[in-house]
């Protein structure tokens, strides 16, 4: 039995093309109920993107008001657009005891750690090598050469932060990566908040 009934946070980072969504989908039957955090952004929706599924699309003014009101768990500005994670749905999911999964970058991970370190577990998911990442990005044919080059440059930077994560999942085969992800997600659920620990000690002593 773990201490307390609150949920916990699992942060996933890693280059676009690492296979994060594929791994989560392959593991989803085994990891139990979770809430996949949806980011809020001021960038325009791309063809096929759905508000409330891919992102919450909002105006720059609305985003900046939310910043001032302290409504973001983490946010950043990239290429002139804001991206962030609203606190409210995360808090609600945690209250309901759910595992909250984030797909955010290295900088976002640092901000979540700074605010909710005691209930946070993190994993960096990556293809075995930079070469393999490039191969996969070219094979999926969804990005222009320019976008692929930018993703590669980002990945070269982000890999250096691998030591900041609790776990690294090297996505060599989906089956093996999904098996490891199940262990990481189950371990993440067992994390308890400092607050719950203090209440437990009082209860334990009687």
Residues that bind a copy of itself (CB under 8 A): 1-3, 126, 128-131, 156, 159-160, 162-163, 166-170, 172, 176-177, 180, 183-184, 186-187, 190-192, 194, 197-198, 200-201, 203-206
The residue among 15 and 84 lying less far from a copy of itself, judged by its C-beta, is 15
Assess contact for 193 and 4: CB atoms under 8 A.
Answer: yes
- Residue 200, classed as helix, strand or coil, is helix
Residues 122, 165: contact at Cβ < 8 Å?
yes
Assign 166 to helix, strand or coil.
Answer: coil
CB of 57 to a copy of itself, least distance (A): 34
Q: 187: Cβ–Cβ under 8 A, 6 or more apart, which residues?
A: 121
R_g of the chain computed on alpha carbons: 18
CB of 81 to a copy of itself, least distance (A): 29
Shorter beta-carbon distance to a copy of itself: residue 79 or 160: 160
Q: Nearest CA to 72 among 44, 114, 119?
A: 114
Toward a copy of itself, which CB reaches closer, 10 or 104?
10
C-alpha triplet 113, 34, 27: angle, nearest 5°: 100
Q: Closer to a copy of itself at the Cβ: 29 or 61?
A: 29
Minimal distance, residue 134 CB to a copy of itself, in Å = 10
Least distance in angstroms from the C-beta of 192 to a copy of itself = 6
Q: Are 13 and 105 in contact (CB under 8 A)?
A: yes
CB 184, min distance to a copy of itself, A = 7
The residue among 87 and 162 lying less far from a copy of itself, judged by its C-beta, is 162
């Amino acid at each position: 039995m773990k201490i307390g009934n609150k949920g916990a946070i699992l942060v996933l980072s890693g280059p676009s093309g690492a296979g994060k969504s594929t791994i989560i989908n392959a593991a989803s039957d085994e990891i139990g109920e979770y809430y996949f955090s949806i980011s809020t952004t001021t960038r325009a929706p791309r063809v096929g993107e759905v508000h409330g599924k891919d992102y919450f699309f909002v105006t720059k003014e609305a985003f900046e008001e939310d910043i001032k009101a302290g409504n973001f768990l983490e946010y950043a500005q990239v290429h002139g657009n804001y991206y962030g994670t609203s606190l409210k749905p995360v808090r609600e999911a945690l209250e309901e005891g759910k595992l909250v999964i984030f797909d955010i970058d290295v900088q976002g991970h640092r901000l979540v750690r700074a605010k909710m370190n005691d209930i946070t577990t993190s994993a960096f998911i990556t293809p075995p090598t930079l070469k393999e990442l490039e191969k996969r990005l070219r094979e999926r044919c969804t990005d222009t050469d320019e976008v692929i080059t930018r993703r590669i440059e980002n990945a070269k930077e982000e890999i250096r932060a691998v030591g900041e994560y609790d776990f690294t999942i090297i996505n060599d085969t989906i089956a093996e990566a999904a098996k490891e992800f199940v262990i990481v997600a189950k371990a993440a659920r067992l994390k308890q908040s400092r607050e719950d620990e203090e209440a437990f000690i009082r209860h334990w002593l009687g």
